[in-house]
Amino acid sequence: MTMKRFFDDAFHRPRALLLIAAAAATAIASGAMFLSMHEAEPIVAGPGVTSQKMLSDYVPAMAGTPADTPVFILEGAEPGGTALVLGGTHPQEISGLMGAVLMVENATPQRGRIIVLPQANRSGFTHTDPLEGFPHTYKIETAGGTRWFRVGMRLTNPVHQWPDPDLHLHPQSGERMVGWESRNLNRNFPGDPDGRYTTRLNAAIVALARAEGVDIVLDMHEAYPEYPIINMLVAHERAFEIATLTMIGLQTRGIAMDLMASPPALRGLSHREFGDHTEAFAILSETANPAMGRFRGRTDEALVVEGKDVNYVRAAALDRLFVPFDENGHPLRERTARQLATIEEMLIAYNEANPDKQVEVSGIPAYQAVIDEGIGRFLLPVPAQ
């Protein structure tokens, strides 16, 4: 070995070792983050929960897959109808998850049943929108300590379903969609039990609804403030009377809500396919989430929870939005309160139309109480492990 090579090796060896160490540290940190993203946020069964299942109890093929998701059943002492409440169909639309969680942890039926899936597409909770800078989690302070929840993404995680086709065809209708919609739970109902991951999940949720004889479905969503279908109910034609009464009930309480009919030609969505393929009345709700929109500024936990953004205040002044927007924003507590009030008014309307199959429930956190006291006031302590 020449002296030059000896000194060159002596010079480069520490640098190589440092690079290897840095790469190893990065790999370990990335792996830890990947594993943590697959840890489900805790949901506490409240006093009204009479049984807890998994989706695989209805479709055994789901067992051991990322699609398997908790099913909470709240059953009253008196027989009646059955309502299905879906949160997390699009995981980044977080008032849907939070409304479902508060139902699980607070509601107590006296008549009939409420079935709640807080994380309908559990895979979507294991990643965030690429290149959008979303935080992975957000925190809610409670009297019993800090609770954490995931932001997620509207699509199935590509590690669970890949690749996307160039063109996605809705299995039943053949409607053409852009390829990534193959991973969108709300473009693939009623699903295909022999299809890819997402359509199998769709089919399993529909199988649950059929097995439990669900009478009415509410699928809770959010959209960005510049989207025209916002603070709105979308209802299948068979559910239109119930949805109209729900809207009137909300407006009477000073909660602005509009209504539109489910377009028959727009396929794969819950409000269309549950109405067409089950006996249930099918309704979808939308609230305004500024963390999802294109006008937003820094996408951090504060925006996700507090819903304040000066860009949207300016956009409202320029009449570019479909909801009012001031310095108070649209915080998560307000959006969740709106979802809970929608459940209340929907059940009132359903009961008026179905006196022989009623769903009577108490304990749903009141709209103004959630706004004034915050979500944390209604979250239960997580039991020690």
Residue 204 amino acid letter:
A
pLDDT attached to residue 29: 46
Low-confidence ranges of the chain (pLDDT < 70): 1-37
**Using CA atoms, how far apart are residues 383 and 38, in angstroms rounded to an integer?**
20
pLDDT attached to residue 24: 57
Range of the domain at 49: 38-378
pLDDT attached to residue 377: 98
Task: Tell me the CB-side half-sphere exposure of residue 362, using CA atoms within 13 A.
Answer: 4
Partnered with residue 70 across adjacent β-strands are: 54
**Using CA atoms, how far apart are residues 138 and 88, in angstroms rounded to an integer?**
15
Residue 207, domain CATH: 3.40.630.10
The answer to whether residue 251 sits within a structural domain is yes
pLDDT attached to residue 222: 98
At 374, list the tokens: 């915050």
pLDDT in tens, 105-125: 999 999 999 999 999 999 999
The answer to whether residue 197 sits within a structural domain is yes
pLDDT attached to residue 8: 62
**Using CA atoms, how far apart are residues 109 and 105, in angstroms rounded to an integer?**
12
The answer to whether residue 65 sits within a structural domain is yes
**Using CA atoms, how far apart are residues 209 and 55, in angstroms rounded to an integer?**
11
pLDDT attached to residue 60: 98
Structural domain count, the chain: 1
The answer to whether residue 72 sits within a structural domain is yes
pLDDT attached to residue 28: 53
pLDDT attached to residue 131: 87
